[in-house]
Amino acid sequence: MEKNRKSADLLVRLLLVALIIIVGMIIFEFVKNLFLPNLSLWDSHIITIIFISVIGTLVAYFILNKYFNLLDQLNKNLADRQQSEQALINGYIHLEDLVNKQTADLAKADEALRYEFLEHQQDALALRFSEAQSRVLAEEAHSIILRLNLKGQVTFFNKFAQVLFGYTEDEIFGYSVIGTIVPETDTAGRNLAIMIADLISHPERYTSNENENMKRNGERILVSWTNKAILDDYGQVIEIICIGNEKTELIKEEGTIGPQQNL
């Protein structure tokens, strides 16, 4: 559209120049006949040729100047277009490189996630296997083994503990140890409910201790406990594992019951 407009403008200019030359020649012939009527035909032709040559040279210069200006503008537009096309090509290549890089990065991230997932799966399998082994060992142990959550409720109760205290795992699972295997106060009047709460809040204070416990039939026994906190990945206590051994018979044989350190 722009090129057509410029071509039409150039044609109009050429027509205008041609009109100016015709008018100029008419005026020139009129002036020549008016002021130089006695010129010979030869002299008149010479003067006309010179006039036309000068005018033609000026017109040619004008036309060629406009033509070369138009040609320069067209070349500049072509160069700009080529630069724009090259910029688009470069932009496309850069975008393609970015897409390829992002695709490669995503593939690496996906591979890393898959590897991490497989590791977690292996860790989970290993943990379940370890827990299964631990449960088997706990079930076969000749010691009391139980686990408490942060509310003081039983989450694991091995077979030895079930036989000793008279509770099945289903009967005590989810129940607080207070009122089941731990009386609220011992025979000396010590508040064991406060002791259990402090054990859960500060398990490091109760790595080992002795305290009075209670069977299902109400019989009181003395148990020596070893307690250990179970931590999550952030180092927070999530459960307490307690391993106990009854000392009632031993103390009866010795004939003495000393001061008891609460859990």
DSSP string, 213-237: EE-TTS-EEEEEEEEEEEE-TTS-E
d(CA 221, CA 217): 11
d(CA 166, CA 83): 91
CA distances from 48 to 38, 55, 102 (A): 15, 10, 79
> Is the Cα dihedral 27, 28, 32, 33 positive or negative?
negative
Among 114, 87, 48, 243, CA closest to 122: 114
pLDDT at 257: 43
pLDDT at 95: 82
pLDDT at 175: 96
Single-letter residue type at 149 = N
Tokens 């005590």 belong to: 172
Mean pLDDT, contiguous 10-residue spans, the chain (263 residues):
63 68 70 66 63 70 69 79 84 83 79 64 46 57 91 94 94 96 94 95 93 95 94 90 87 50 42
Q: Which residues pair with 224 in a beta bridge?
A: 210, 245
pLDDT at 122: 46
Report the predicted TM-score, pTM, of the whole model to 2 decimal places.
0.48
| Chain centroid to CA 181 | 50
Give the strand order in the sheet containing 154-157: 154-157, 144-148, 237-246, 220-231, 208-214
pLDDT at 222: 95
d(CA 169, CA 233): 28
CA distances from 123 to 65, 127, 155 (A): 84, 6, 23
d(CA 122, CA 118): 6
CA distances from 66 to 10, 56, 149 (A): 8, 15, 96
pLDDT at 141: 76
pLDDT at 210: 93
pLDDT at 256: 45
